[in-house]
Structure 1
């Protein structure tokens, strides 16, 4: 989805897919039937829960031994990561645009009315109005709540009372993506995706420490020039790898603020990886592994084409990725061969799976939360 900047506000514009549908383009390609499940890896479902229907801006999070999740209608829930038992549930009764961020104690979400809401022990403790829309989950760290808004501003709030500590503003682009961007802590820096760049900020005052271009705008119109950094990012120590929407994947050294490599790539969802490889899907569903040190292709598989894959999660010897039928594909990190497939409630897996201890946790669009453990 794309948001367009209007006078003093952000107004929703058409999605790229909707623009295509208005033309005389042919019917979208259909995925090929899947082969029988390989079952080369044993798994067991250890718990499941229901949080309520969601969307791609509501990414589950693991922090403080809990799984934090939210629904589009305003439910926020904290569950014990090992058992799935609900520690608390809050009903905000207002639609949510982004979340959840948490440090294990304070949880933060953003409503569609541009309000940042903080909760603790199932109770709302404060809320403040943002100056613009936000599509990215807040980052809660160091007793502060950091927010990236669609006008390219980054703000910090005191997690105890919501007092604004600082705001840094950037030139706004005509169009921004209505999907999660990048905001994370790397060492003592706050790293954010700003247009086609990764930037490191001082979390105490918002001062810019470094900026690295990942992709440069090209093309003759606003859509072609859109190169937002999309989340999630793949961080390993000071190595931070990212995707610029429909343009490239690349890695930077966040300790020095220097680029390492970039490679052309046409995907629209985030990446993840380990010390050797980086994984992600292209727009047509080809699933790709790049070598983390150089960006050279390690392998590509095509059997998942046209399945609208989620951002992946690398965990041990496998990589997990969800699709638009609610399946979770576990593939070998070495060559992409299938290890096994997991079934959910049949609704799309829109967000990246997460790791809770030794369990793989997945949230579906219909609000199902599922946790599997390898046998």
Structure 2
């Protein structure tokens, strides 16, 4: 039976740019002592350029994974030391800058009216559109997942498997959704994908992902993308930690040590799934879904049936981050601060630039003809494709 939340979903939801995930430092479960030597970069003749438009620094992530977020005509970004900024999208000028009085664990959430940041101790600080603090609330547990602000609700996902919905204007608790604790799960942020102001889609431990209503925290649907395999608890880890992606009405997700699959956003029913392992998530074009595995092999699958279209192994062990499919290319950063561009059609490397020397784990953002990139070192810049 279709719920009210499903019926209210727009017929064409588009590709969402609100992301949430972290880069995980993983040791091979086999216990192998083999050195993961990053591939040497081969020469690339750029078929297009990413021309710098502006850049600024917001402060270092210091081991955490901070994503910028775009709301309206502004970019919001943060650093581990508590620097929270609003940046004019067109010029790169800082509109306001706030100092959160505690260390932060994740980047901000914002709808352009209320901007929130979460501390390492689980305190949510909220600011209005002038940068003035309007409330703070403790959720009582560590938070590693980016908050989402949508539909007048701030959604915070705590490490103890609680989802908490707070009123965006007052911080008053509106609802709580509790997930059962798993015997063993990855201690990382779980990305939440907001679809309009109606629902979020997010992954769970145990290879499952689902849709939650923003207004009341109700579970709309839940679907397994993979199942535990192996004998030890470590071998059976297959959490869906990375952000799901969506294009049109097709939703795709991938689990660590599990599977990648795509299905209908309204129902969660999978059209296909294949064995695959990734902690950097998926991105989509109209007819393909892209992901990078833990070796940094980049792969494209057909969204209609899961047929592998191509695989590029040039970036092996370079610890690539989350990807962005935009236009005819696929963009992603690596641990040495490079941004790589692949042809969506055949996986050929078509361009490369150096953003800075620190890791780029957050997905680039395409907005207003610009590509936004933030590194873990704190440099955020806008580029114009030429």
**Structure 2 length as normaliser, TM-score?**
0.88
1:179 aligns with 2:188: yes
Contact 2:64 2:80 in 1 (8 A): no
What SS class does the counterpart of residue 27 from structure 2 fall into?
helix
What SS class does the counterpart of residue 47 from structure 2 fall into?
coil
- Residue in 2 that maps onto 1:356: 367
What SS class does the counterpart of residue 198 from structure 1 fall into?
strand
Q: Which residue of 226, 243, 262 maps to 1:215? A: 226
Tell me which stretches of 4 or more aligned residues in structure 1 moved more than 4 Å. none
2-structure distance, mates of 1:262, 1:364 = 32
Cα pair distance change 1:212/1:332, threshold 3 Å:
same
Q: Per-residue deviation at 1:176?
A: 3.0
- Residue in 1 that maps onto 2:114: 106
Q: Which residue of 42, 45, 51 maps to 1:35? A: 42
1:241 aligns with 2:256: no
Contact 2:150 2:214 in 1 (8 A): no
- Residue in 2 that maps onto 1:304: 315
- Residue in 1 that maps onto 2:204: 194
1-structure distance, mates of 2:325, 2:33 = 35
1:135 aligns with 2:144: yes
**Deviation readout 1:180-213 (Å, 9 max, x if unpaired):** 3132233633322222212222322222221111
- Residue in 2 that maps onto 1:49: 56
Contact 1:138 1:147 in 2 (8 A): yes
Q: Per-residue deviation at 1:153?
A: 1.6
Contact 2:64 2:105 in 1 (8 A): no
What SS class does the counterpart of residue 346 from structure 1 fall into?
coil
Contact 1:150 1:176 in 2 (8 A): no
Name which structure has the greater RCO, CA cutoff 8 Å, separation 6+: 2
Q: Which moved more, 1:357-366 or 1:248-257?
A: 248-257
Structure 2 stretches lacking a partner, 5+ long? 1-23
- Residue in 2 that maps onto 1:8: none
- Residue in 1 that maps onto 2:172: 163
- Residue in 2 that maps onto 1:17: 27
What SS class does the counterpart of residue 230 from structure 1 fall into?
coil
Structure 1 stretches lacking a partner, 5+ long? 1-13
**Structure number with higher strand proportion:** 1
- Residue in 2 that maps onto 1:11: none
Q: Per-residue deviation at 1:177?
A: 2.4
Alignment size in residue pairs: 359
**Structure 1 length as normaliser, TM-score?**
0.91
2-structure distance, mates of 1:87, 1:235 = 31
Contact 2:262 2:272 in 1 (8 A): yes
Q: Which moved more, 1:298-307 or 1:37-46?
A: 37-46
**Deviation readout 1:21-55 (Å, 9 max, x if unpaired):** xx561322x23322223111133110111000014
Contact 1:138 1:146 in 2 (8 A): yes
What SS class does the counterpart of residue 251 from structure 1 fall into?
strand
1:125 aligns with 2:134: yes
1:59 aligns with 2:55: no
Contact 1:186 1:237 in 2 (8 A): no
